[in-house]
Amino acid sequence: MSTSGEAVLRAVEAPLFWLGALTAAWLSVCSACRLLSVLRVWALGNGRLVSPSKLGKWAVVTGATDGIGKAYAEELARRGFAIVLISRSQEKLDEVSNSIASQCGVETKTIAVDFSATDIYPKIEDGLAGLEIGVLVNNVGVSYSYPEFFLNVPNLDSFIDTTVNVNIISVCQMTRLVLPRMLDRKKGAILNISSASGMYPVPLLTIYSASKAFVDFFSRSLLAEYKSKGIIIQSVLPFFVATKLSKVRRATLDKPTPERYVAAELSTVGLQSQTNGYLPHAIMGWVTTALLPARLLNSYVMGMGLSQRARYLKKQKQG
């Protein structure tokens, strides 16, 4: 090597060394912070943040008679909240209300409405009048009967209206009714139940996936507007939970019962503004969004949807 080349090498050697050292230190600090954050959320949790003394007396849960919604109502009642149950069937509402009142000894209130309609919100507003609402769980939702191409969805016109009204309009309108009172008291939590299907496009569940993506973006935008006002707003994006809506009958580690999922999810409130709510789901969310290329993920999801569609149609033909 020539003398001039050696001189150039010596000149850049020290800067390159320090650049490498600073990069390694930065990556180490970031990794340590991420690890501490993971431990904070999934090992320690938020203690008893979600409690009437810290947020307010009443919790309002939509879609409260089945699955995740029922599990939220029961868990919040166990934590001492009085519960407003909102769902379509008065018979089911009475059953869940009586069960919660007898087991947890808290006040309950029911409002029977069909969220596929848009003229229901004055009735809900009247039912919530005068209540100190600390938690709102926007859980009500509808999905597909089976994966299907957009134009082949049965009763497409009415299905579009129903999905938008239940999955999107309900979140906006319930937030409109409850948020002002939380702002007056400078405390409260709104948990919007989105879906892992809202994290990336899910073909053959197109309308559902898009509606849940709306819920996620709505939640994150709303948080930016009102975080400084003392309001917790969280986007909850579960993968499969063993419910009627998901058609998962048997709970497993990655497909928990609603009760197990909700208990885990509530420990993330105040710690994560966007959460998968359950450690195995958080790992799945990280793998699918951070590790898998979008094209590969889209191809896999499409293939899974086609397989489920084929099984459903074959079963219908045989039946």
> Is 312 designated active site?
no
Rounded CA gap, 265 and 278, in Å?
A: 6
* Of residues 225, 224, 188, the one with CA closest to residue 49: 188
Spatial CB neighbours of 73, under 8 Å, sequence gap ≥ 6: 59, 61, 64, 83, 85, 96, 100, 137
Rounded CA gap, 110 and 90, in Å?
A: 8
**Bridge partners (DSSP) listed for residue 234:** 191
| Residues 59/133, Cβ–Cβ less than 8 Å | yes
DSSP conformation class of 269: T
DSSP state letters, 64-92: TTSHHHHHHHHHHHHTT-EEEEEES-HHH
Half-sphere exposure of 12 (CA within 13 A, CB side): 5
Spatial CB neighbours of 179, under 8 Å, sequence gap ≥ 6: 188, 190, 226, 231
* Of residues 133, 89, 83, the one with CA closest to residue 103: 83
Rounded CA gap, 110 and 117, in Å?
A: 18
| Residues 237/196, Cβ–Cβ less than 8 Å | yes
Rounded CA gap, 260 and 306, in Å?
A: 30
Which of the residues 72, 144, 146, 208 is marked catalytic? 208
Q: Active-site positions?
A: 208
